[in-house]
Amino acid sequence: MSAPLSIGFVGTGVMGRSMASHLLNAGHVIHVHNRTPQKAQPLLDAGARWHSSAGDLAAAVDIVITMLGFPTDVEAAYLGTGGIIERARPGALLIDMTTSSPKLAQRIAAAAANRGLESLDAPVSGGDIGAREARLVIMVGGEAGTFERARPVLELMGKNISRLGPAGAGQHCKTANQVAVAVGMVAWCEALAYARQAGLSPDLVHASISGGAAGSWALSTLAPRALSGDFAPGFYVKHMLKDLRIALESAAELELELPGLAVAQSLYNQVTAQGWEEEGTQALYRLYLTQQVALT
């Protein structure tokens, strides 16, 4: 490995903690900040350095990576008073890996460029397993030269890494990804609910169909969790709803109707109404188990 890099990581939750650990294990000097400090403790125990704010962290490193929950969190971290862009070192590289708004990514890129900083929007797909195993799909928007500068760092966290275009393009790609994910979640839930209602074993039906034309990552990975009653979050329901809102808003701006996505949003709103927003997205299946599904 070349000389260790000074990297700040903001957001050490379900996925961010694993992502930062790969950078630490590769020998880089890792600085961390998280809204809930105890979630960063495993990284601190392994040698990471704590900062009390995203701005303080940015002032101490050459590369800042963020993995946050919501676009409002991203906006505050980057564009808020005393935030990342205001306090980052000259020439620093900023990489937002949150699933966020394409328009916000473009605003961050413009603000960063005005201060002589480089930035990328680089949202990911792969969930908690992909983060733990360093095989995330990473979808990048930004300048080609900036992408090449970031590539060695991104390769420590993912395997399928692509630059899709200028600022915002990574977020647009992730939006497309979430359209497919959300509608696919409805598909496998309904398939297994149908099998159950028909008197078949959902587990046997799952084993039969998951390797055929109906197969998908969600069917292979999340359906077994749901069938076993495991609704722990690899990806939160509340974050899925955030992604669906971004997707539908972006589609409206593009004058595109996405009726399947609207159905998925309605169903996940019902999941939240049941009090399951802190569970994993496979909690959608619980609606079908309890016969609580209602189309609105």
In order, the DSSP letters of 167-199 are TTHHHHHHHHHHHHHHHHHHHHHHHHHHHHHTT
- Tell me the pLDDT band of 294, cut-offs 50, 70 and 90: low
* Percent of the chain clearing pLDDT 70 (strictly above): 98
Give the homologous superfamily in CATH for domain 172-289. Answer: N-(1-d-carboxylethyl)-l-norvaline Dehydrogenase; domain 2 (1.10.1040.10)
Q: Count CB neighbours of 10 within 10 A.
A: 31
Angle between helices 259-273 and 169-197 (to 10 degrees): 70
Work out the percent of the chain whose per-residue pLDDT is above 90: 94
pLDDT band at 224; cut points 50, 70, 90: very high
- Long-range Cβ pairs for the range 217-223 (8 Å, 24+): 218/181, 218/184, 218/185, 218/188, 219/184, 219/188, 221/127, 221/129, 222/185, 222/188, 222/280, 222/281, 222/282, 223/188, 223/192, 223/282, 223/285
CATH number, span 6-166:
3.40.50.720
Q: So what's the pLDDT on residue 291? A: 75
Backbone angles phi, psi at 224, to 5 degrees: -60, -35
Q: Give me the pLDDT at residue 292, please.
A: 67
Structure tokens at 167: 């600022």
**Mean pLDDT (the chain, rounded):** 95
- pLDDT score, position 234: 86
The answer on pLDDT for 31 being more than 60 is: yes
Q: What is the mean pLDDT of residues 231-252?
A: 94
Whether 241 has a pLDDT exceeding 60, the answer reads yes
Q: Tell me the average pLDDT across 234-243.
A: 93
Distance from C-alpha of 287 to C-alpha of 195, rounded to nearest angstrom: 15
Residue 295 banded pLDDT, cuts 50, 70, 90 = low
CB within 8 Å of 290: residues ≥ 6 apart: 274
- Asked if residue 245 lies in contact with residue 179, where contact means CB atoms within 8 angstroms, the answer is no
- First-to-last alpha carbon distance for the chain, in angstroms, is 55
Average pLDDT over residues 216-222: 94
* Enclosing H/E stretch for 23: helix 16-25
pLDDT at position 266 is 96
Enter the tokens of residue 259.
């009726």
Q: What is the pLDDT of residues 167-188, one digit of tens each?
A: 999 999 999 999 999 999 999 9
Nearest 5°: phi and psi at 230? -95, 105
User: Would you list the domain boundaries of the chain?
Assistant: 6-166, 172-289
What's the pLDDT at 277? Answer: 96
Residues with a catalytic annotation lie at 174
Dist. CA 211–CA 219, nearest whole Å: 9
Count other Cβ atoms within 10 Å, centred on residue 254.
9
pLDDT at 131: 95
Query: CB of 219 within 8 A of CB of 206?
Result: yes
What sign has the CA pseudo-torsion 221, 227, 232, 237?
Answer: positive
Is residue 270 over pLDDT 60? yes
- Per the listing, tokens 């055929």 go with 212
Q: What is the rounded distance in angstroms from the CA atom of residue 106 to the CA atom of residue 166?
A: 9
- Contact assessment for residue 166 and residue 140, using Cβ atoms and an 8 Å cutoff: no
